[in-house]
Amino acid sequence: MRVAQEFIPGSAKVQSMSIKNPYVPELAVIEKITEETWDTKTFRAAFVNEEFRENFTYKPGQFQLVSVFGVGEATFCLTSAPTRKGFVEFSVKKVGTVTSALHELDEGTTVGIRAPLGNRFPYERFKGKDLWFIGGGIGMAPLRSLLNFCLDNRRDYGKIGIIYGARSSADLCFTYEYDEWQKSPNTELFLTIDKEEEGWAKNVGFVPTYLMDLKPSPKNAIAITCGPAIMIKYVLQDLKELGFEDEQIWTTLEMKMKCGIGKCGRCNIGHIYVCTDGPVFSHAQLKELPPEY
Amino acid sequence: MAETNDMEQGLRAKAKELLESGQVKVVIGYEAGSVPFKCAPLFAETPEEADRLVWNPTCVNNLAVYLPEAVKRGKVAVVLKPCDAGSIVELIKEHQIERDDVIAIVVGCPGVLSLDGLSEMDLGDIRSIEWRGNGIAVTTGAGEVTIPREKAFAGKCLSCQTGEPALADIKIGESPAREPLRDAYISLEEYEKMSPAERRAFWAKQFERCIRCYACRAVCPACYCSECFVDKAAQLWVSKSTDPTANWFFHMARAMHLAGRCIGCGECERVCPVRIQLSLLGKKVHIDVEDMFDYEPGADPEALPVLGSFEAKDPDPCPE
Amino acid sequence: MEAKVISKQDIKNWLESLAGKYEIIAPVTEDGVTRFRTVQDFSAIDLVPTPAAGSLRAVFTPETETLFEYELSGHAAEVKVSEAAVKDRLIFGARACDAAALKYVDAVYSNVEPVDTLYFNRRERTAIVGLFCSNPSWSCFCTEVGDFLTNPVGMDAYFTDIGDKLHAEALTPKGEELLSAPQFKPASEADAQAVEEVRKKALSRLPKPTDHAAASKSYDWDHPIWARLAEKCLGCGICAYLCPTCHCFDIQDCAMGSKGGRFRCWDTCQFEKFTLMGAGHNPRPSKKERTRQRVFHKFKYSPERYAVLGCVGCGRCIAACPVNIDIRRVLEELESQG
C-alpha cells in the first residue's frame, strides 16, 4: 500500500497559470459503440489531439473520468489494455444521469476524458504466477484490461483461468473476445449463469459456487476479482477457504467520484482515497481499512 | 418563576410515566446544552433519561422536525411549545405521521430566548438563564442581570397571542396571558411599502449571501421530502451553484412549496448562518394565503391542506 | 526584522497606499453577518467578531467556481479555459485559526499530483495579515488543537491590538516588505509588554492542549455516540459550510442549448447524496455513518494522511449547530475511558 505522503510544510508545488487546470478534460471522439447487453454498452474513443493520442499510456487497473458536456462526468475503468494503442475503451451500464446520457450518444460524438487516473494492478508481482480472474456482470470490465494485457504478454504469466458469470447469457459481456481468450495457450474460460436456460450447455450456478467447484490451487497463484458487492463478499470467503492468503487476493473498488485526483473528499475510505490510493487493492490492504464501502 | 420550575418537574414526571407504562417508545424533549444559553434535543427512552428533560428560555428548537423519522420506532411523545404544535397538525394532514403515533405534550410558554438579546454580554461568562417577570434573568460571574422581553425574546414571541394550541394530548402549565408587544406582521408593514423594484433589490441582497448550506430546509418540519427538488440529478430543476439566479430559484421555490404549510416557527431564520430574513419571506406568503383562501396553517386539524384541495369560492386571478 | 507598531489612525492610509497594488480583503459586517469581502471603504472593516462568521475558504475557493466553458456544434465540442489572471490580494484581519486552516488545505490540495492549480494560483498571490484574538469567543478552542494562536502559521504578518495602536510582527519576507511602510514605527519595550498582557489575558480564557491525533488511534468505530448523534443531527451541513478546513466540493455541468460550462461548488459529507452511487448503493446511508465520518476525517484520517489535524478549533460549528452538537463534548466522550 502506498503510504500517504507526509506533508512537508512549504513543499506544495505551486504552478503558474500556464499549467493546465486539472479539471479540464481532453477531447475524444467515440469511434465505436458495442452493445454488450440490454443495459450495457462498450465505447471505444480516440483522443482528438494527435500528440496526446500518440503519447497516451496507462496501466491496467487505472480509470478515466468521461464527460458528456452539459450533463456531467462519471468514472469508468479503462477496460481496454494498454498494449493495444490508439484508443481507450469504457463499458457503461445505464444506471443514472451520465450513463443514460452516454447511452444516447452516437458514434462520432465528442466527449471529454480525464485519464489515466488511480493506481494499477501490480502486474510485475504477478509474473510467473497462475492467475485466476473471477468476474461477475460488468465487474469483468476492469478485469479485462489486466486480462488482455497479460494475454498480450503471455509468456510472463503461468496458467490463466477466467471464471465469469452473469444473471443470464444475455447479461454476459465481451462475448466477442471469448474465442481469443480461449485460443491463448494455457488459458481456460469458465462461464456460468445464475439459472438454467434453454440452449445453455455450460455451467449453471453463482460465481462463488462455481469457484468452489473448480477449486483453483492457491500455490503460486493470484486471484483478481470484481463484480457485485455480494459476489465479492462470497468470493473472498471462498478464496480464503481454498487457502489463498490475503496478499494473493486483489480487487478493484467502485466509489462515487467527482474530481478523481484526491481533492474533493468524496471517495475516502478511512484515510485513503479510492481515486488516488486505489481503486486497486489487495485483500490485505482492505482489511486495514474501515468497513465503509 | 416558580411556575416554570413546576412545569419542568411536571414534564419530567409525565415523561417518566409515559415511558414506564410503555405507552411510548421515546419522549423527544429538551435537555441542557453544552453551554448554559443553549439546549439540546433529548431522545429519552428510559425514565432515568427523562430526568434530564428541561424547560427553560433556551428551548427554542421546534422538535416536530424529528417526528416523521421517530414514529418509525413506535409511538412517540414530543414536547412542544404552543406555536410548534401547529407543525404536528400539518404533518398529520399530510400523512407524514398518524394521529395515534404521537402524544403531543404542550408546555406553557412565556417566550423563548433570542441570542441577539444577549449580544452585549460575554456569553462565555453566563452561568444560567431563567424566566423572570416578563423577561429573563441571566446569572453571570458578576451577578444577575434581568432583560425585558422586548430584548430577550425571539421576534415571534413578541407577537404571540398565547391562545389555545391547535393540538395537545397533555398540557403542562399554561402560557401566561399577555399583550402582544407588536403585530405579527410588523416587518411586513415596512416591506409592503416597498415598490417591486425595491423588493427585488432587497431580496437580491439577501440571496447573494446564500451559501446553499440548506440548513433552513433541514431544520424545517414541513420540509420532509425524501428527495428535495434541489437534489434531483435527473431533471435538474436548479443549479447547485450559488449564482444569483440559482439562489433566487431555490428560495422562491421553497417559499412556494411552504405556502399554506409553514406555521411560522422561525427556525429557518434562526439557523441561517448568513442571516437571510427567511421568516419575512414566509410571512409574506402566509399573509397572501390568508387573503386568498382565508386559511391558517397549523390551526385546524380537520381542515384540508389549502393547496391540496379547492373550493368553488377560491379566487381565480386569471384575467377575463 | 524587529517588531513594529502602527497607530490605529494610520491603518486607513496604510491600506490606501496598498490599494493600488492589492485588492484589500477584510471582515465586513452587513445585516449582522461578518464575512471577508473586498473593501474599498476601510472604515467598514469590522475586527470585533472573533472569529468572523465566514472563514477564508471563500477567498481561496469560492462557493461556486467555473472550471471551464464548452460549446457544442453537431458532434464536435470545444473547451474554453478562462485566461483571467488572479489579482494580487491582501487579507487584513485574518485570525490565527483561519490562517492555520489554510496550511491544512494546502496539504490536502497538494498531497497528490496534479495539485489544485485554481487554489494555488490564488494562494501564491495573496498576502495575509493576521490579528491576534484579544477576546476569544465562548466557542473558541484553538489552543486545544494547536499553538498557532501564539506561534502563527500561514500568514505574513501578525498584529496585536494594544489600545491606540497595533503591534506588528513580520513572519515572512512579504511581511517585512509590508511592514517597511512609513506608517510603521519600531515597537518599544512598553509595547512588547502590552502584547504580553493581551496574550496572557486571552490565553487564560482558552483551553489547554489535548493530543487528539494520538487519542484518535483508539477511537471506537462502533461507539454508541454515533447513534445518539444521528438522532439529533439534522444533516443540515452548516458545520461543514462554515468550517475553514472543509475542502470537499461537487462538480456539476450547466447547459444552455449548445453552450455551457462546468463548475465546482462546495459540498459536504453530511449530505445524504454525497457518497450515493449511480446504481443506488450508498456506503454512508444514515446520519450515523455521516456524523462518524465528520469526526474521524478531522481528527483521525487527517493526522494519518497529512500529519496535520483537520481542525483548528475556530468553534464555528459549535456556535452554529442548530441542535448543539458540540465537537468538544463529542471528543471528550470518545476519548474517555469506559
pLDDT of residue B163: 73
Q: What is the pLDDT of residues C100-113, one digit of tens each?
A: 999 999 999 999 98
Which residue, C152, C175, C204, sits at the end of a domain? C204
d(CA B227, CA B233): 10
Measured from the Cβ of residue B154, the count of other Cβ atoms closer than 10 Å reads 23
Q: Which residue in this structure is represented by grid cell 418563576? A: B1
Which residue, C186, C204, C222, sits at the end of a domain? C204
Q: What is the pLDDT of residues A112-138, one digit of tens each?
A: 999 999 999 999 999 999 999 999 999
User: Is residue C178 predicted with pLDDT exceeding 80?
Assistant: yes
Please name the residue of chain A whose CA is at the shortest distance from the CA of residue C246.
A265
Are C254 and C288 found together in one domain?
Answer: yes
Are C177 and C226 found together in one domain?
Answer: no
Hey, are the CB atoms on A5 and C111 less than 8 Å from each other?
Answer: yes
pLDDT of residue B235: 65
pLDDT of residue B29: 98
Of C247, C253, C283, the CB nearest to A72: C253
Measured from the Cβ of residue C57, the count of other Cβ atoms closer than 10 Å reads 23
User: What is the pTM for the complete model shown?
Assistant: 0.93
Q: Does B234 touch chain A (CB under 8 A)?
A: yes
Are C199 and C217 found together in one domain?
Answer: no
Cell of C53: 462568521
pLDDT of residue C84: 75
Measured from the Cβ of residue C74, the count of other Cβ atoms closer than 10 Å reads 9
Strand, coil or helix: A236: helix
pLDDT over 70, % of chain C: 100
Cell of A212: 468452489
pLDDT of residue B301: 86
Q: Does B217 touch chain C (CB under 8 A)?
A: yes
| Predicted ipTM of the assembly | 0.93
Residue B221 CA: distances (Å) to CA of B258, B302, B308, C200: 10, 19, 18, 46
Return the partners of chain A (3 or more C-beta pairs < 8 Å): B, C
Range of the domain at C111: 4-204
Hey, are the CB atoms on C318 and B231 less than 8 Å from each other?
Answer: no
Of A17, A24, A99, the CB nearest to C68: A24
Residue ranges and CATH numbers for the domains of chain A are: 26-117 (2.40.30.10), 123-287 (3.40.50.80)
Contact A235/A211 with Cβ under 8 angstroms?
A: yes
CB contacts of C137 in chain B (<8 Å) are 123-124
Are C220 and C145 found together in one domain?
Answer: no
Residues 81-140 of C with CB under 8 A from A: 81, 83, 85-86, 103, 106-118, 120-121, 123-124
Are C254 and C177 found together in one domain?
Answer: no
Cell of A92: 457503461
Give me the number of domains chain C comprises: 2
pLDDT of residue A5: 36
Highest mean predicted confidence (pLDDT) among B309-313, C122-126, C242-246, C279-283: C242-246
In chain A, DSSP assigns E strands to: 26-35, 40-47, 63-68, 72-77, 88-93, 110-117, 130-136, 160-166, 187-193, 203-204, 221-226, 249-252, 268-269, 272-273, 280-282
User: Is residue C255 predicted with pLDDT exceeding 60?
Assistant: yes
> Which among B217, B220, B221 has a CA at the least distance from the CA of B91?
B221
Low-confidence residues of chain B: pLDDT under 50: 1
Are C96 and C226 found together in one domain?
Answer: no
User: Chains B, C: CB contacts under 8 A, how many?
Assistant: 102
Low-confidence residues of chain A: pLDDT under 50: 1-18
Q: Does C36 touch chain B (CB under 8 A)?
A: no
pLDDT of residue B181: 78
Q: Does C324 touch chain B (CB under 8 A)?
A: yes
> Which among A199, A202, A137 has a CA at the least distance from the CA of A174?
A137
Q: What is the pLDDT of residues B151-208, one digit of tens each?
A: 999 988 988 876 788 899 999 998 888 788 777 666 788 898 999 999 999 999 999 9
Cell of C124: 501564491
Interface of A with B (CB under 8 A): 96-97, 100
3-state helix, strand, coil in chain A (%, to 5): 25, 30, 45
> Which among B21, B40, B34, B134 has a CA at the least distance from the CA of B79?
B40
Which residue, C204, C227, C253, sits at the end of a domain? C204
Measured from the Cβ of residue C159, the count of other Cβ atoms closer than 10 Å reads 24
Are C246 and C268 found together in one domain?
Answer: yes
Contact A90/A77 with Cβ under 8 angstroms?
A: yes
Element (DSSP H or E) covering residue C252: strand C249-256
Q: Which residues of A227-241 are buried (b: 16+ CB within 10 A; e: fewer)?
A: beeebbeebbebbee
**How confident is the prediction for chain C on average, in pLDDT?**
95
Are C110 and C87 found together in one domain?
Answer: yes
Q: What is the pLDDT of residues C263-303, one digit of tens each?
A: 999 999 999 999 999 888 999 999 999 999 999 999 999 99
